[in-house]
């Protein structure tokens, strides 16, 4: 009798061992699953239920049904709010591209790179409320920006950026870009630190310029980090601007800077329509799920894997 088991027997033993490991992993995960379900999924289910009701937060909710969503998407105010979110997405390429260029320069250890790395990281260490207060003073009618324009002889283009709908939205977008520079720069610097230096050296030997090395060698290798930065930036554009909007504009003028996230607050807490606020919250949640699934699909397609 052979002391070495036949290949089919070994495969069968490995299969049993893999099943036992999966079962053990599931059993060990049960407490975490129960905790997440209690603290996360239960409120989500309740939000979905309340989103289809007319509820003021203290009296019994009045059931409306799924028609509440049809009414919401037919509301021109909701469409305007979603338009604001779409316009803010135009800032995403700048919120990624500018930090990518900064990270490439810092990675080259240009003169003063340690100082500039601290400067660019500074927005990450500052509260969004503080950033909003600084931006408010910068873009105000008698703010720093108009004073700088006057000092350089351009006082004739004096503008109250926060008094017009689209200029206020532009000011919000610029502030958002500035606030994301630190986070995205750190992400790209981390990615560049993982690059194989021999590839860069080989490209230099082949006669490629610094710009060509960046576009042809480094940029393709940073795809995963760019994807991660894209997801973080898009999620922030949809769900992290409440403090900036509350401090800078309060959602105004009119609906000029009201995003879906801020609209949830206005409906639920400012107007006392908690059912409507839950509805907008569910819509925002679905948008975030779509972004996450799209990112997951992109990563898997690049790895050659299916769903």
Task: Give rounded-to-5 percent helix, strand, coil for the chain.
Answer: 75, 0, 20
Among 125-129, 186-190, 261-265, 270-274, which is the least confidently predicted range?
125-129
In a domain, 66, yes or no: no
Query: d(Cα 2, Cα 190) in Å, to the nearest integer?
Result: 53
Burial 67-97 (b: 16+ CB within 10 A, else e): ebeeebeeeeebeebbebbeebeebbebbbe
In a domain, 234, yes or no: yes
Between the CA of residue 218 and those of 92, 183, 187, 226, what are the distances in Å?
21, 19, 14, 12
In a domain, 145, yes or no: yes
The pLDDT of residue 307: 44
Query: d(Cα 230, Cα 292) in Å, to the nearest integer?
Result: 11
Assess whether pLDDT exceeds 90 at residue 109.
no
Residue 33: which residues within 8 A CB-CB, separation 6 or more?
Answer: none
The CATH number of residue 86's host domain is 1.10.3720.10
In a domain, 267, yes or no: yes
Residues of the domain holding 81: 72-302
Query: d(Cα 217, Cα 195) in Å, to the nearest integer?
Result: 10
Q: Quick one: CA torsion of 211, 215, 217, 218, rounded to 10 degrees?
A: 90
Q: Is the dihedral of CA 44, 49, 53, 55 positive or negative?
A: negative
Query: d(Cα 93, Cα 89) in Å, to the nearest integer?
Result: 8
CA angle 237, 224, 36 (to 5 degrees): 60
pLDDT digit string (tens) for 160-174?
A: 889 899 899 999 999
Question: What tokens were used for 228?
Answer: 């991660």
In a domain, 273, yes or no: yes
The pLDDT of residue 141: 86
- The residue ranking higher by pLDDT, 306 or 30, is 30
* 233-254 average pLDDT score: 91
In a domain, 5, yes or no: no
* 89-103 average pLDDT score: 93
Assess whether pLDDT exceeds 60 at residue 189.
yes
Assess whether pLDDT exceeds 50 at residue 1.
no
For the chain, what's the residue count?
Answer: 307
Q: At what angle do helices 113-125 and 165-193 cross, to 10 degrees?
A: 130
In a domain, 139, yes or no: yes
Count of domains for the chain: 1
Which stretches of 130-242 are assigned E, i.e. beta strand?
none
In a domain, 41, yes or no: no
Q: Do 251 and 258 form a contact (C-beta atoms < 8 A)?
A: yes
The pLDDT of residue 301: 65
CA angle 270, 273, 277 (to 5 degrees): 85
* 258-270 average pLDDT score: 92
User: pTM (2 decimals)?
Assistant: 0.83
The pLDDT of residue 306: 45
């Amino acid at each position: 009798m052979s002391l070495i088991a036949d290949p089919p027997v070994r495969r069968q033993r490995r299969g049993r061992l893999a099943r036992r490991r999966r079962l053990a992993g599931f059993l060990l995960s049960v407490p975490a699953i129960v905790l997440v379900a209690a603290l996360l999924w239960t409120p989500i289910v309740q939000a979905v239920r309340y989103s289809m009701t007319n509820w003021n937060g203290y009296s019994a909710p009045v059931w409306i049904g799924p028609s509440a969503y049809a009414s919401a998407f037919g509301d021109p105010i909701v469409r305007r709010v979603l338009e604001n979110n779409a316009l803010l997405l135009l800032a995403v390429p700048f919120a990624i591209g500018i930090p990518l260029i900064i990270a490439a320069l810092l990675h080259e250890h240009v003169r003063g790179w340690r100082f500039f790395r601290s400067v660019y990281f500074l927005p990450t260490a500052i509260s969004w409320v503080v950033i909003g207060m600084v931006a408010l003073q910068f873009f105000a009618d008698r703010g720093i920006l108009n004073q700088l324009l006057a000092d350089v002889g351009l006082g004739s283009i004096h503008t109250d950026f926060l008094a017009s709908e689209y200029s206020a939205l532009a000011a919000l977008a610029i502030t958002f870009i500035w606030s994301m520079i630190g986070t995205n720069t750190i992400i790209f610097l981390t990615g560049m630190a993982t690059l194989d230096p021999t590839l860069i050296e080989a490209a230099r030997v082949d006669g490629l310029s610094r710009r060509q090395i960046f576009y042809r060698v480094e940029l393709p290798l940073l795809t995963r980090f760019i994807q991660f930065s894209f997801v973080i930036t898009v999620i922030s554009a949809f769900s992290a601007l409440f403090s900036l909007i509350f401090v800078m504009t309060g959602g105004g003028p009119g609906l000029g800077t009201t995003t879906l996230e801020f609209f949830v607050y206005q409906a639920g807490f400012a107007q006392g329509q908690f059912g409507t606020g839950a509805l907008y919250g569910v819509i925002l949640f679905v948008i975030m799920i779509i972004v996450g699934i799209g990112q997951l699909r992109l990563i898997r397609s690049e790895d050659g894997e299916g769903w």
